[in-house]
Structure 1
Amino acid sequence: MTYDAFLIKELGVAVLIFLIAHISIRIVFGNYKNLPPGPRGWPILGALPLLGTMPHVTLTNMARKYGPIMFLKMGTCDTVVASSPYAAQVFLKTLDNNFLNRPTIAGAIHLGYNAQDLVFANYGPKWKLLRKLTNQHMLGGKALHDWAHVRTSEVKHMLRAMQECAKQGEPIEVGDLLSCAITNMVSQVVISQRIFSNKGLDSKEFKNMVVEFMTISGVNIGDFVPCVAWMDLQGVVGKMRRLHKRFDVFSTKIIEEHVNSSYERKGKPDFLDIVMSNGENPSEERLTLSNIKALLLNLFTAGTYTSSSIIEWVIAEMLKNPNIITSAHKEMDQVIGRQRLLSESDLPNLPYLQAICKETYRIHPSTPLSVPRVATEACQVNGFYIPKNTRLNVNIWAIGRDPNVWSNPLEFNPERFLGGKGAKINPSGVDFELMPFGAGRRKCAGYKMGIGVIEYILGTLVHSFDWKLPSGVKINMDEAFGLTLQKAVPLSVVVSPRLVPNAYV
């Protein structure tokens, strides 16, 4: 090797070492002044290797050390995590305008039709139209009132199935029961069909897709280190693409069958009819086929499994604490009696039932980490500098278990929401100590439906049956992290009717 070649080689090595050191220093120490405190993390990967399989728990433990506004370098991405009601309020109310958009992530691209859906679309005319249509025709107060008969009918279907299991002494898989009922509620409004009873649709395939969709989400390295995204190191993107193809085939079939049967609904359009006809006026914003398919994906995944997950958790907690079931039965027998089923009009008169639901939102939020947002511009929060394009996560799970907010936070105690301040706490996103559906303009579009359906179904199930675990079975309260916080071990129960026989007809 010549001397010149040797110098060039040495210079190249020196430059490489400098670049690695420079990147590492930026990741470990940050290059902005007065960032919020947070863990240093690893070179290149930042805090990613620290998160483990339960990121919401890890981030909660970190917040105890670094504080409720915490900065992490997640790969090459700046990330801030809010873990207190005050921090959440600052980001989601005071600075809501600056955090209206979502970051670009693999799930939005490969599952959400390139972020054409209601969850991941950027804030703008198309998103506003999607939100307006779903609020006016499906998820808003008037729309929910208009399809109350659908909820009543589907709950009766569920009760009859439970009675059959009770007669045979067979255990019931609670999650399967709930997901079937809630999906049918949604599908009757969206496409005028019960998905889990129509032989023209493969309901089992649909259910498998939804389950995979809700569990496939995790920490995807490519979302945080874009330069290695093409390698798909975890195989997540490949799974997303395959799942997307399956769902696209399924949604295409639904839409084609719907168009062919449109004459049957003349004068009485359902939600999909309304969405597909929107934009016929050239002056209006027009939804694309991708928007419609992405919206169907939202409604049939987030719209069903969040509610079913919460109800499954609360039943598990009640089985752990039988005195809660006893108190709930006492309240319901006084208000409703045992001669008829619970109706939605009874719900305002059942404060203990509402307290049970609030306590479940607190300790088992369906979305433990809020769907991420991203800062449009740099901003100041509590004296800390938040750079432009910083991703925001609110640790809803941590807020619900914060001992500075809740006394005995690990205890499942519905009484904390009876009387005084607790009774006034609203889970719809106005009180930041309890915000299971998020807050601000990007909170869950279906929060009204979620609250109403959860109270109605849970109240009906508790009022209508006595509950116990199958012989020899112990309850398992382990969590499985994903888009929703599922039970790691599905809940199986045995029920027996407690109302007069003709009440179930």
Structure 2
Amino acid sequence: MESCFTSMMLSQPNFYFIIFMFGIILLSIKILKHNYSNKKSKKPRLPPGPKPWPIVGNLPQMLANKLTFRWIQNIMNDLNTEIACIRLGNIHVIPVTSPSIAREILMKQDAIFASRPLSWSSEHVSLGYLTIGPSPYGQQWKKMKRVITNELLGPLRLQWLYEKRAEEADNLVRYVYNQCKNGSALVNIRLAGQHYGGNLVRRLFFNKRYFGNGRQDGGPGAEELEHVEALLNVLKYLFAFSISDYVPFLREFDLDGRKEAMKDAITTIRKYHDPIIEERIHQWRNGTRTNQEDWLDVLISLKDAINDPYLTAEEIKAQIMEIMMATIDNPYNNVEWILSEMLNQSKIFQKAIEELDNVVGKERLVQESDIPKLNYVKACIKEGFRLHPIVDFNVPHVSMEDTIVFNYFIPKSSHVLIRRQGIGQNPRIWKEPLKFQPERHLKKNGSSLTLIEPNLETFTFSTGKRGCPGITLGSTMTIMLFARLVHAFTWITPSNEKIIDLSECVGDTSKAKPLVALGEPRLAAEVYLKMDQKKKNI
């Protein structure tokens, strides 16, 4: 017994040591848990949004709400937030309606958000990401951006193409005049605007207005109607929300019918474009064509360091299709909405007419050289872009690394969507945001107004690496379309309508009903006759 007691006493230090070490371990675990808890609480959280399901995220809700952009609008309104997070599959979709947050993303952190999402539609329309618009950030995108910015849209090149733009502005007036020269007549403003854009961009690329014989009154033939419809259909589906964009293994299946519709539209476009492009390439290579007359000649003529063609035929085809789509939609949509608003507010309409008459007079047509002096006209256009953008969401940006935006955590590969209409109608930024009020854009010092918005309080052309390189061309087209229609014609609401219906389409932000108004010439007859004398067979 003594021996046992002695043995126990000898082992007592080991016993106390074990107890001591156990206490140290428990204390360490407690400290680690406390530190981890503090770190976790300090880690920025995701922007607010609906609670996601495991694995699939909010895809069930997206599928239950067919109009996805309206669903996202409602989420942000319900949460009263200017930035949200909606998880679709394993992708975080971040919609934004705040100019300050948009500036943080597109200016301060531009390098992080300079990529694009990969999807079947963007890959197909860009012929394998060969173009500037939907291509992810990388060498191909940089190459095509240099081409577009330096070779097609520089100031000297735009000046070189001035006559083509002037002729299409004349043709717009001729087309409308031929409908109402014998007295007031109903004119479809949407159709006139769409085909002004279509005619102009065909002239810039192919030096021709018509694919077929066209019409003597200056309007579109069957080929041009089909061409413009196909361009607009591709745009409709290009960045539409599709479940296959968030669940990649479903890309082989056309679950929403968009894949087949887009294929058909692209096939139609290429039916008209490809023969012209291929023949022109052949002419340059065999030496039968040596002078540049349009953008297509410029693209074909570009050479690399060893004097080989800089662009492949597929790159040329893809980029032409993309620029045509990007050029055609904004001008007609903007002008249709503005004229609709102004027909319901005669005082605003009269102010625009008075400015045009004061600057231009009534003995000639408005020209591009008049644009710097047309501040009220530009204010009307800017207000149209604010209140009625062609689509609610800008082309998605993708974050290339984890980052923090306004104290929110934005994970790598998130899709960031700047909501044009959300910013333009943000009540924190704009007083009476749903009211069409051009005066809000006029500068107090009377300096020349532009359609560029450096503070992103209206969101038309974006900014940063992915900003639209065609700001000058797009602005000029829109101003000339609007100014020519307002200056050259008197517009009256049809007798069967008290006011113009300002309803949006159910599926997008365009006007639900095409604007059809009574038009009649308001300038001296000699002005239209002079224009007709300059007519060329194009």
TM-score class, shorter: 0.7 to 0.9
Query: What CA distance in whole angstroms lies between the structure 2 residues aligned with 1:315 and 1:179?
Result: 15
Aligned partners of 2:271, 2:421: CA distance in 1, in Å? 36
Equivalent-residue separation in structure 2 for 1:384 and 1:441 (angstroms): 23
| Bigger mean CA deviation after superposition, 339-348 or 43-52 | 43-52
Cα offset, 1:362, TM superposition:
0.6
The answer to whether 1:258 aligns with 2:280 is yes
Is residue 2:424 matched to residue 1:400?
yes
The question of 1:223 aligning with 2:245 is answered yes
Describe the SS at the equivalent of 2:252. helix
Post-superposition offset of 1:496: 0.8
Distance (Å, rounded) in 1 between the aligned partners of 2:58 and 2:424: 27
CA distance in 2, matches of 1:249, 1:333: 44
8 A contact 2:399–2:411 mirrored in 1: yes
| CA–CA distance in structure 2, aligned partners of residues 220 and 40 of structure 1 | 20
Match in the other structure for 2:146: 132
| Residue in 1 that maps onto 2:75 | 62
Residue deviations 1:274-308 (CA, integer Å, cap 9, x gap): 21232454488942322211111112211112222
After TM superposition, give the deviation of residue 84 of structure 1 in Å.
0.3
1:195 to 201, 205, 210: 210
Q: Secondary structure at the match of 2:85?
A: strand
Q: CA deviation at 1:53?
A: 5.1
33, 46, 50: which one aligns with 2:58: 46
Q: Which has the larger radius of gyration?
A: 2
Q: Is the 8 A contact 1:125 1:285 kept in 2?
A: no
Q: Partner residue of 2:39?
A: none
Query: What whole-Å deviation, never above 9, does each CA across 1:153-196 have from its counterpart, x for those lacking one?
Result: 11111111111111354422212212222222222221111136
| Residue 46 (structure 2) aligns with | 35
| Aligned equivalent of 1:243, options 227, 240, 265 | 265
For structure 1, the 5+ residue unaligned runs are 1-31
Does residue 497 of structure 2 align to residue 476 of structure 1? Answer: no
Shift of 1:254: 2.1
Contact 1:429 1:440 in 2 (8 A): no
C-alpha contact (below 8 Å) 2:392/2:420 kept by paired residues? yes
1:67, 1:466 → 2: CA distance? Answer: 44
3-state DSSP of counterpart to 1:399: helix
CA contact (8 A) 1:99 1:373 kept: yes
SS at match of 1:308: helix
Structure 1 residues 296-311: aligned runs within 5 Å: 296-311=320-335
* Displacement after TM superposition at 1:501 (Å): 1.0
Task: Single out whichever of 360-369 and 239-248 deviates more from structure 2.
Answer: 239-248
Q: Match of 2:402?
A: 378
Partner SS state of residue 385, structure 1: strand
Q: 3-state SS of the aligned residue for 1:79?
A: strand
Contact 2:442 2:449 (C-alpha < 8 Å) held by counterparts: no
Task: Please state how far the C-alpha of 1:45 moved relative to its aligned partner.
Answer: 5.1
- Partner AA of 2:504 in structure 1: E
Amino acid at match of 2:501: N
In structure 2, what is the equivalent of residue 179 of structure 1? 194
The corresponding residue for 1:113 is: 127
Paired residue type of 2:463: A
Aligned counterpart, 2:165: 151
Is the 8 Å Cα contact of residues 41 and 50 (structure 1) preserved in structure 2? no
Match of 1:411, as an amino acid?
K
Between stretches 282-291 and 410-419, larger displacement belongs to 282-291
| TM-aligned CA deviation for residue 488 of structure 1 | 2.3
Q: One-letter code of the match for 2:280?
A: H
- Quick check: 1:416 aligned with 2:440? yes
Alignment partner of 1:436: what SS? coil
Which moved further from structure 2: 148-157 or 423-432? 423-432
| Map of 1:502 onto structure 2 | 526
Match of 1:71 in 2: 85
Aligned residue for 1:171, secondary structure, equals strand
Partner of 1:329: 353
Kept after mapping to 1: 8 A contact 2:338/2:381: yes
Q: Which moved more, 1:456-465 or 1:468-477?
A: 468-477
1:209 is matched with: 230
Asked if residue 389 in structure 1 is aligned to residue 413 in structure 2, the reply is yes
**CA offsets per residue over residues 235-257 of structure 1, 9 Å max, x none?**
11222223333333332212133
Question: How far is 1:214 from its partner?
Answer: 2.8
Greater mean deviation of Cα atoms: 206-215 or 320-329 = 206-215
Query: Alpha-carbon deviations, 1:365-421, whole Å to 9, x = none?
Result: 224201001111111112221111111111111010011100000000001112349
Q: Is the 8 A contact 2:493 2:518 kept in 1?
A: yes
Q: Which runs of 5+ in 2 are unaligned?
A: 1-42, 215-220, 531-538
Report which stretch shifted further, 445-454 or 215-224: 215-224
2:93–2:414 contact (8 Å) kept in structure 1: yes
1:266 deviates by 2.5
Q: Secondary structure, in 3 states, of the residue corresponding to 1:189?
A: helix
8 A Cα contact 2:96 2:418, kept in partner = yes
Q: In the alignment, what sits opposite 1:85?
A: 99
Measured at CA, do residues 163 and 249 of structure 1 come closer, stay the same or move farther in structure 2, by a change above 3 Å? Answer: closer
CA contact (8 A) 1:36 1:71 kept: yes
The yes-or-no answer on 1:345 pairing with 2:360 is: no
Distance 1:62 1:149, change over 3 A: same
Amino acid at match of 1:63: M
Q: Which residue of 2 aligns with 1:15?
A: none
Counterpart CA distance in 2 for 1:211 and 1:106 is: 18
Change (3 A) 1:325 1:487: same
User: In 2, are the aligned partners of 1:140 and 1:448 still within 8 Å (CA)?
Assistant: no
Quote the offset at 1:424 in angstroms.
8.3
Closer, same or farther: CA 156–470 of 1 in aligned 2, 3 Å: same
The 10-residue stretch of structure 1 (159-168 or 259-268) with the greater mean CA deviation from structure 2: 259-268
Distance 1:266 1:228, change over 3 A: closer
Indicate yes or no: 2:470 matched with 1:456: no
Q: Secondary structure at the match of 2:372?
A: helix
Cα distance in 1 for partners of 2:151, 2:189 equals 29
Give the secondary-structure state (helix, strand or coil) at the position aligned to 2:112. helix
d(CA) in 1 for partners of 2:265, 2:518: 34
Amino acid in structure 2 at the alignment position of 1:240: M
Partners of 1:171 and 1:494 within 8 A in 2: yes
Report the Cα offset of residue 464 of structure 1. Answer: 0.9
2:489 is aligned, of 465, 479, 483, to 465
Alpha-carbon separation, structure 2, partners of 1:318 and 1:411: 12
Supply the distance in 2 between the matched residues of 1:298 and 1:84 (Cα, whole angstroms): 29
Deviations 1:192-231 (A, max 9, x none): 1113665699323312312322333422111122233333
SS in 2 for 1:172: strand
State the 1:360 CA deviation: 0.7
Q: Could you tell me which residue of structure 1 aligns to residue 385 of structure 2?
A: 361
> Which stretch has the larger CA shift, 375-384 or 61-70?
61-70
Match of 2:217 in 1: none
Question: What amino acid is the match of 2:95?
Answer: V
**Does the aligned pair in 2 maintain the 1:46–1:73 contact within 8 Å?**
yes
**In structure 1, what is the Cα distance between the partners aligned to 2:426 and 2:365?**
38
CA separation in 2, counterparts of 1:347 and 1:282? 43
* Distance in 1 (alpha carbons) for counterparts of 2:72 and 2:128: 29
More displaced 10-residue stretch of structure 1: 425-434 or 158-167: 425-434
Q: Calculate percent identity across the aligned residue pairs.
A: 28
